[in-house]
Amino acid sequence: METEQLEFFKKRLRDLETELETGLKGAGGQSATVSLDESIGRLSRADALHSQQIGIALEANIKSRLANVRMALGAIDDGTYGVCRHCRKAIAEPRLKTMPETPSCVNCSGRR
Ligand SMILES: [Zn+2]
């Protein structure tokens, strides 16, 4: 991949990393709202637990994307960015533009 393109994706990935980190703080805050404080009553506690579950799912999702973003940034430094981790073929550029953090090509991610 051209240096120019790599710089472009590097910037995209850095932005995405910042964005996800911010999102993670938000999600973390949400799951942290449920202390097992009995004083909030049964119903609101159920609500709180529900939003905690959403928060946890959201957090897990953000964390796995963040891990991919960091891997992709590492791959840029290694010179392996844009190569599918499974079949070692080049990942199509439109796919990288939509999901710069993707570790696999469309064929391999569809197969999983
Ligand atoms: Zn592949």
pLDDT at position 44 is 82
Phi then psi for residue 109, to 5 deg, are: -75, -25
- Predicted TM-score of the model (pTM): 0.78
Query: What distance in angstroms lies between residue 22's CA and the mean position of ligand 1's atoms?
Result: 31
CB 69 within 8 A of CB 49: no
Q: How far is the CA of 72 from the centre of ligand 1 (A)?
A: 15
* 108-111: long-range pairs with CB below 8 Å, 24+: 108/84
Query: Which residue segments constitute the domains of the chain, with CATH numbers given?
Result: 3-111 (1.20.120.910)
| 90 CA → ligand 1 middle, Å | 8
| Distance in Å, CA 7 to ligand 1 centroid | 23
pLDDT by residue (tens digit) across 11-69? 999 999 999 999 988 766 555 555 555 555 667 888 888 988 988 999 999 999 999 99
Residues, Cβ < 5 Å to ion ligand 1? 84, 86-87, 105, 108
Cα 41 from chain centroid? 35
Would you place residue 111 in the very low, low, confident or very high pLDDT band (cuts 50, 70, 90)? low
What's the pLDDT at 6? 96
What is the Å distance from ligand 1's center to 93 Cα?
13
Predicted pLDDT at 45? 81
pLDDT over 60 at 91, yes or no: yes
